[in-house]
Amino acid sequence: MKELLAVLIERLTPIVFDAIQARQQTQTTPVTREQIVADLTADIDRILGEGDAWRATHPTV
Amino acid sequence: MTSRDRHLILRVVGPPLTVVLWAALLASSCGHQPPTINPADLELWRARQAVIALGTVQRAAIALNETQACTPLPCHPFLSDAHTKLVIDAVGDAVTAIRAAPNGWLAVARSAVQTIRQRVDADPTAARLRPYLVGLDAALEDAQRATP
């Protein structure tokens, strides 16, 4: 059980730090509309790509 | 968040995951818009906050799916393939809709949360997704509150 918890913490902690960093960056950096659109597009492309990559490794689900 | 929510979080996912959840909630509670944003662009900026939160939930779901739990045997994903797909599908649909109509981000994101929540409520084995829905709700509330 301890091993499982350690693995969960190891896997989830970077995700939370990335999210915190992404949010802080959006909240402290001066932005233009064009920059927001570019960042939003990049985020959406990344999320869809991560989902597609998971589906590719789980074709029967 | 009600005391019932907090109790469910503690009971379902245990202290370590709760720490992770609270870290995410703490981050969202500090949210504010950037210093030089044009008020006309505020909804677009809020849409990105929602997308970041949705993406975080998806990454967490994938990470939980990649983690093997061996109690009870046989070893199995901590989050099942079916529940991981549920999150990925809901998040994918939501961000695609937000790309098409960023100003509708709140309704779209809430719909994604509702889709997952209905499944969680109907299937006790999906309960470990509940804290992430609570965190996502908090992040959406935070983004909605940001004002010029």
CB A40 within 8 A of CB B102: yes
**Whole-complex ipTM:** 0.85
CB nearest to A12's CB, from B20, B69, B89 = B20
The mean predicted confidence, pLDDT, of chain A is: 86
Per-residue pLDDT band for B145 (boundaries 50, 70, 90) equals: confident
First-residue to last-residue Cα distance in chain B: 26
Query: Are the beta carbons of A51 and B88 separated by less than 8 Å?
Result: yes
Three-class SS of residue A1?
A: coil
* Residue range A17-33, pLDDT digits in tens: 787 777 777 777 767 89
Whole-number pLDDT of residue B90: 96
| Assigned token pair, B111 | 């719909």
CB A51 within 8 A of CB B58: yes
Global pTM reads: 0.82
Look up tokens 């649909």; give the residue.
B93
